[in-house]
Amino acid sequence: MKNKYFIFTAMGVALFACATVNNLFATETPVPTNTPLPTNTPMPTATLTPEPSATPEPETVTLGERQSVPGDYFSFQLPVGFDAQLDGAKMLGRDSGSTFFLSIFLDETDNDKTSETILLEFLAGFEENQTMQDLELGPSFETSLDGLEATGVDLQGTFSDEPMQGQAVAGWVNDELFLLAFAIAFDDQEPGDRWQETGKSIFTSILDSIDINIDAINSVSGETSGVGDGCAISVDDSYGYTEENPIRVGGDAFDGPPRARAFFDNLLGPNGESVSYERSGSFGFGDTILDGYVVTIAGGQTVTLYVDQYTYTDPEAPVGFTCIAAFPFTAP
């Protein structure tokens, strides 16, 4: 409509200019002759003025019943027709057409990190395992999660080779634990179409519905998600240490990386020592893809453990490790 209106206006200007030029070059008035009888002057024809197209109204998002994660650490509402998987202090949701995905989870990290740093590290994890490519981030912005200060960032790129656009938001809920919400919409036409038309308003409605239970969270601070008291410890020397017997956390490309991080965040050394870890890369093995992690026990040894994000068995602490609490995830 804008282009058509521009052409319409330009034509009007051109016609006006032609009329002006004809007047400028008018010849002298001729000697009067017999005055002809007046003819009927045609009535001017009405010209339709193009009306601007109406700006589409934002899609109304109808939310379903409120749901809570185990332990009641936070609750939320998803749009009617969405599916949710609850996994410890985390949820994974999607629409019926699998074009919109989101995750909301509670986790812990060093309390000297800003919420923006938490977001960048979270998104970097997707780039490291090559499930997210060509990632472009917009400027960070201040927002809130259930009244708590938070930071958000818009993003676009490809996820498992599919064009997508989305947003991530994170904020501290106490001195040890943060809440992070992440959503992406896959595009089937122009990049950003689905997110701009429906995805962004859906995610905003979900964020506005989040209710954080500070009392429940404070009661389990220092235990990642506070699920249970202790964890199973493997008696198999090969568990986690060999490609043939990896730690099977499940979750696939989307939810696998945070599940792996939750696993290692829950590990301790044999005498309760702190543990640090770093992902070393992905590689094909048989009919799956494994991720290697270099794990270091404070003041002790460094080992490599292998993780399978595409199959699941109940997690255990490998031989030589203990844990903070029960592992904060179940079968996806």
Judge whether residue 230 has pLDDT over 60.
Answer: no
Query: What is the pLDDT, as a whole number, of residue 57?
Result: 53
Please state, rounded to an integer, the average pLDDT across all residues of the chain. 78
Query: What is the pLDDT, as a whole number, of residue 161?
Result: 76
The answer to whether the pTM exceeds 0.85 is no
Average pLDDT over residues 307-312: 95
Judge whether residue 138 has pLDDT over 70.
Answer: yes
**Cα Dmax for the chain:** 121
Judge whether residue 204 has pLDDT over 90.
Answer: yes
Confidence of residue 189 (pLDDT cuts 50, 70, 90): low
Judge whether residue 313 has pLDDT over 80.
Answer: yes
Query: What is the pLDDT, as a whole number, of residue 130?
Result: 62
160-181 in b/e form (b: 16+ CB < 10 A) is eeebbbbbbbbbbbeebbbbbb
Judge whether residue 168 has pLDDT over 90.
Answer: yes
Query: What is the pLDDT, as a whole number, of residue 32?
Result: 45
Query: What is the pLDDT, as a whole number, of residue 128?
Result: 67
Judge whether residue 31 has pLDDT over 50.
Answer: no
123 SS3 class: helix
Confidence of residue 221 (pLDDT cuts 50, 70, 90): low
- CA dihedral of residues 40, 43, 44, 49 (deg, nearest 10): -170
For residues 323 and 166, the model is more confident at: 166
How does DSSP classify residue 235?
-
Confidence of residue 209 (pLDDT cuts 50, 70, 90): very high
Domains in the chain with CATH codes: 63-218 (3.40.1000.10), 247-323 (no CATH)
Q: Measured between alpha carbons, how far is 307 from 296 in angstroms, rounded to an integer?
A: 16
Judge whether residue 33 has pLDDT over 80.
Answer: no
Strand partners, 164: 157, 186
Query: What is the pLDDT, as a whole number, of residue 140?
Result: 95
Q: Measured between alpha carbons, how far is 306 from 286 in angstroms, rounded to an integer?
A: 14
Annotate 177-230 with DSSP letters as a single string.
EEEEEEEEEE-SSSTTHHIIIIIHHHHHHHHHH-EE-HHHHHTTTTSTT--SS-
Annotate 95-122 with DSSP letters as a single string.
-TTS-EEEEEEEEE--TTS-HHHHHHHH
Q: Which of 94-103, 160-169, 310-319 has the highest mean pLDDT?
A: 310-319
For residues 189 and 235, the model is more confident at: 235
Query: What is the pLDDT, as a whole number, of residue 26?
Result: 33
Q: Measured between alpha carbons, how far is 15 from 21 in angstroms, rounded to an integer?
A: 10
Judge whether residue 73 has pLDDT over 80.
Answer: yes
Closest CA to 126 of 285, 314, 260: 260
Q: Measured between alpha carbons, how far is 162 from 187 in angstroms, rounded to an integer?
A: 8
Q: What is the pLDDT of residues 35-55, one digit of tens each?
A: 444 444 444 443 334 444 444
